[in-house]
Amino acid sequence: MDSSTFYDLSGDAVLSALPNLWGNIQVVRTCIIKNNIPNLVSLVTKYLDYETIHCQLGHISDKAMRHISNNAESAKKICFPNKKHIYCSCALEKLYQHSFPENPKCSSKTLGLIHSDLLELPTLSYSKYKWVIIFLDDYSSYCRVAFLHKKSDAAKAIKAVFQLWLNTTSYSVKCLYTDNGGEYMTLELQSFLCEQGIIHKTSTLYVHQQNG
C-alpha cells in the first residue's frame, strides 16, 4: 500500500501515514516528520473527557467506562459529570423489548389463516434461486416453501400454491396474513385475492411478531 504525506502551509512535510492490515483490522501507521509548528493542532488527544470517550466508543455504558482506568495502559481517571447530554442514538441502543405475548387465538379450520413471509438466501442457489417464500397454516402448523428467482415472483408463487391446495385438499385459503412488503401489495396479487374472496391482513410496521 502507498503511504500518504501531509504538508503544512509552507510546503514542508509534517506527517506521513501508511495504511496496513493488523489481522482483520485496518490500521494506519503514522510518523511525525516535523513538529516545530507553533500551536500545532493536536494529532492525538492527550486527555479525553467523558463526552469524547462516550461517543468514540459507541455510546458505551458508564459501567463499561469505569473499567477503562483499570484496564487501559496510561489511562487517566474519567470524571463523570452530574448532568449528562442525552444522545438519541445512545438512548435507542439501550432500549430493550419485552417478550411479545402469545396469541391464544388460532384458526379453527385448515387453511383458514395462512401466514407468509419472504427470506433472502445468503448465496445464490445452483438453480439461480435467491428468495424463499414461506407459507404457514395457523391451524395445523403445516409449512410449505417455494423458491423464487426474484421477489417480484411472489405473486405467481402464491397463486400456484393456493391453487394446488384447492385441488389436492378441497380446502381454500380464507385469509392471508403478511407484512407490508411491496411483493404482497402488487396489483396482480391484490386482484387475485379479491377475485378468490381471500382476506388480506397485514402486520403493523416493525412488529413482525404479529405475523405468526
85-105 residue pLDDT tens:
777 777 776 677 777 777 778
Reported as a single tens digit per residue, the pLDDT across 170-196 is 899 999 999 998 999 999 999 999 999
Instruction: Give pLDDT, residue 58.
Output: 75
Enumerate domains of the chain plus CATH numbers: 1-44 (no CATH), 47-96 (no CATH), 114-210 (3.30.420.10)
Reported as a single tens digit per residue, the pLDDT across 106-156 is 888 999 999 999 999 999 999 999 999 999 999 999 999 999 999 999 999
Rounded to an integer, what distance in angstroms lies between the CA atom of residue 173 and that of residue 156? 16
Residue 132 grid coordinates: 424463499
Rounded to an integer, what distance in angstroms lies between the CA atom of residue 75 and that of residue 38? 27
Instruction: Give pLDDT, residue 177.
Output: 95
Rounded to an integer, what distance in angstroms lies between the CA atom of residue 210 and that of residue 116? 11
Rounded to an integer, what distance in angstroms lies between the CA atom of residue 3 and that of residue 16? 7
Buried b (16+ CB within 10 A) or exposed e, 62-98: eeeeeebeeeeeeeeebeeeeeeeeeeebeeeeeeee
Buried b (16+ CB within 10 A) or exposed e, 104-131: eeebeebbbbbbbbbeeeeeeeeeeebb
Q: Which residue has the higher pLDDT, 130 or 75?
A: 130
Q: How much of the chain exceeds pLDDT 90, in percent?
A: 42
- Which candidate, 149, 139, 148, 131, places its Cα nearest to that of 115? 139
Rounded to an integer, what distance in angstroms lies between the CA atom of residue 48 and that of residue 98? 36
How sure is the predictor about 41, in pLDDT bands with cuts at 50, 70 and 90?
Answer: very low
User: Is a pLDDT exceeding 70 seen at residue 62?
Assistant: yes
Largest CA distance in the chain: 88
How sure is the predictor about 43, in pLDDT bands with cuts at 50, 70 and 90?
Answer: very low
Q: What is the CA radius of gyration of the chain?
A: 29
Is 0.75 surpassed by the pTM of this model? Answer: no
Residues 6+ apart with CB under 8 A from 7: 13, 14
How sure is the predictor about 44, in pLDDT bands with cuts at 50, 70 and 90?
Answer: very low
> Which residue type, as a one-letter code, is found at position 34?
K
